[in-house]
Amino acid sequence: MQIFSNRHIFLFFVLLFISWTGIAGASDNKKDFDTGKNMEIFFNIFKNIDIAYVDPTNPDKLMQKAADAMLSSLDPYSEYLSEEDMADFEFTTTGKYGGVGALVRLAPEKDFIHISEVYKDCPADKAGFKPGDKIVAIDGENMGGKDVTFVSEKMKGTPGSTIQMTMRPIRGGEDYTVPVTRERITISAVSYYGFVTDSIGYISLDSFSENCSADVKKALTELKSQGPLKGVILDLRSNGGGLLSEAVDVAGLFVPKGTEIVSIKGRKESENETYKTHNDPFDTELPLLILVNSSSASSSEIVAGALQDLDRALIAGTRTFGKGLVQTTMGIGYGSFLKLTTAKYYIPSGRCIQALDYSHRNEDGSVGQIPDSLISEFTTRNGRKVYDGGGITPDVKIDPLYINKFTVSLIALGYIDDYAIKYYKEHTEAPDINNFSLSDEEYTDFGEFLKTKDMNFISPSESNLEKLRESAKKDKYYDEIKDELDRIETKIKGDHTRDLELYKDDIKAYLESAIVTAYHYAHGRSERAVNSDKDIKTAAELLSSGKYKEYLTVQ
């Protein structure tokens, strides 16, 4: 859908130019004049491209690129959202969309898009769709050769509307057509909760979407009703944030009503605001440990940082992402929006969680090394020392789990999921969530399965060897060491049989998780992950021991 016509864009810039030049002409302020002058330059560039460029141009794409380039010079979070982009933005902030409730991807045969995961009790689940079922047609239109985006958009739509889906079952049988009525699909931000020991509860909060605080409260209430609750682990690892209001409400479950959680300070003093909890808490004494990592950002950092500043929770894991910038979404016409950074977050101790340098990060996205001269010291309510400069530094450091690049490549290429669907096709009996383990014969079968796939994986060792070759050639050493380099290459290059054996434990864990998901939905995957997660076990031990209170006391 075209958002702007050439005429609309032309009129838009004319009006904008007139308004800005009017300001500049009426004001002696140099900044106003510069703004008007640059708007005129921008308008003239756009006009001349549209009129005189050698090839026809698309004004929508020109506008998108111009806006993206302008905003990218500010910070990583300010962006232009077209009318189409707003659907994804709504899902991110609300966790809701109109559709059938299924994830899809290209089938291994590359003929159709197939179902990769079904959401429990959603329309696709009610219609009997299974992982691996191919989507042959939608409303009579053949889906053969279509890409994921096309098929996904066909499945989405207004809740209550019905589409006819023609499916090819993974476990054999004739193609069939079934009506599927779209629903408002709501993905709960709490993906799992339960007990990890007899008295330590666990809640995984994946995002700060609409009503997530109610989901957390519900989980806490049910945990407390199931038995003695002597502590709770709130898992915010890889939670990228979301709604500020929900962050305040989640923190408010653990501190007295009226407690300051965060304040925002922007360019204009009139826009500054302090956010306090406004609901009665769930429990202000229950021992609480929050797990974070380098992908915990924004609202996750507000909750973790505020409860750390208030000495209400013990923070464990790795330093968080460091996103302390506030974005405001502004309508700019024709169904499009501007998401612009307008302020910074400050938590109760007075520190800002924004990383000092958000342009240069470690490979995993975490904050790089910050010079001590740029870090300021603050104190928590109990007098413990905390620091700014980049995210939230945990009270207890837990080294992140390293995933080797070969395993990562298998996941990224979709071969783990493809094999899980193959397994699902061949085994009708559902495996036990927590006790399922692939046999050696089945793992060998996975190795045979990979032989039918394109494996363009280049290991770090191979990459470094190639760099050494290039360096040796430049330094005139290559002829002397060529034979040694060739022997090394023979040992390390492309031997995926060795990689499969070397990383067997890691690969098996992901295969087993994908297979469990095929039978037991996302909840089964989460339950299995929780029961095998070493970080969660460490967190439970900290809550169960006296160390929890020791960390929250000034030494």
Active site residues: 298, 309, 323
Place of tokens 């057509």: 177
Q: How many CA atoms lie within 13 A of 262 on its CB side?
A: 31
At 213, the amino acid letter reads: S
CA distance 343 to 268: 9
Would you say how long the chain is, in residues? 555
CA distance 192 to 104: 23
Tokens encoding 399: 């080294």
Report the 3 state secondary structure along 505-540: HHHHHHHHHHHHHHHHHHHHHHHHHHHHCHHHHHHH
Decide: 246 and 212 in contact? Cβ < 8 Å. Answer: yes
Decide: 21 and 39 in contact? Cβ < 8 Å. Answer: yes
CA distance 537 to 439: 26
Which 3 state secondary structure label does DSSP give 311?
coil
DSSP class of residue 401 equals: P
Q: Which residues contact 459 (CB under 8 A, 6 or more apart)?
A: 405, 406, 492, 499
Tokens encoding 216: 């957390």
Q: Where are the beta strands (DSSP E) in 390-488?
A: 396-397
Q: How far is CA 196 from CA 200, 212, 237, 498, in A?
A: 6, 22, 17, 36
Q: Which residues of 212-230 are buried (b: 16+ CB within 10 A; e: fewer)?
A: bbebbbebbeebeeeeebe
At 302, the amino acid letter reads: I
Question: In sequence order, what are the beta bridge partners of 204?
Answer: 192, 235
**Helix (H) or strand (E) segment spanning residue 167:** strand 162-168
Tokens encoding 543: 């809550």
CA distance 317 to 303: 15
Check residue 485 and give left, alpha or beta (phi > 0: left; psi -120 to 50: alpha).
alpha
**Helix (H) or strand (E) segment spanning residue 148:** helix 148-155
Q: Tell me how crowded residue 56 is: count the other CB atoms within 10 A of its CB.
A: 6
